Homo-oligomer: A and B are copies of this chain.
Amino acid sequence: MRKAKRADSAKTPRDVQAVFDDIKATRKVADVNNFWRYLARDPALLKRTWEGVKEVMRPGELDVLTKEMLYLAVSITNGCGYCIASHTAGARKAGMTEAMFGELMGVVGMANETNRLANGYRVPIDPAFEK
């Protein structure tokens, strides 16, 4: 059965529980979402992935909203349904308004279009871009 693939909370191994606890504390949420539950099937993968996500999504030179929108733009380009749903939610939580989302969609759509126009015409890179 499909459900059996999620970690059963009654039997969560200690190393998995430690990651879950850190996710909940870092994000100030009551529970972890399905992505982390499925990754828990391989505790080393879960731990490495969470530590990577935690590090890259931390506010730095770019704020959290910008980072969430970049994550969403990549997920839309790749057509990952789960990731689009979760990062649309994440970007909204970080402050993305409906109008901002509309503009993001405009840029993502246009970039996917012009990427193929540049491919198709085999446009050589301008020397100015190499500096």
Contact = CB atoms under 8 A, between A and B. Distances in A.
Majority SS at the chain A contact face: helix
Contacts of A86: 125-126, 129
A46 to B, nearest CB: 9
Q: Report how many copies the assembly holds.
A: 6
Interface residues of A, number: 79
Interface in A15-68: 33-35, 38-39, 41-42, 44-45, 48-49, 52-53, 55-57, 60-62, 66-67
Interface of A: 1-2, 5, 33-35, 38-39, 41-42, 44-45, 48-49, 52-53, 55-57, 60-62, 66-67, 69-89, 97-126, 128-131
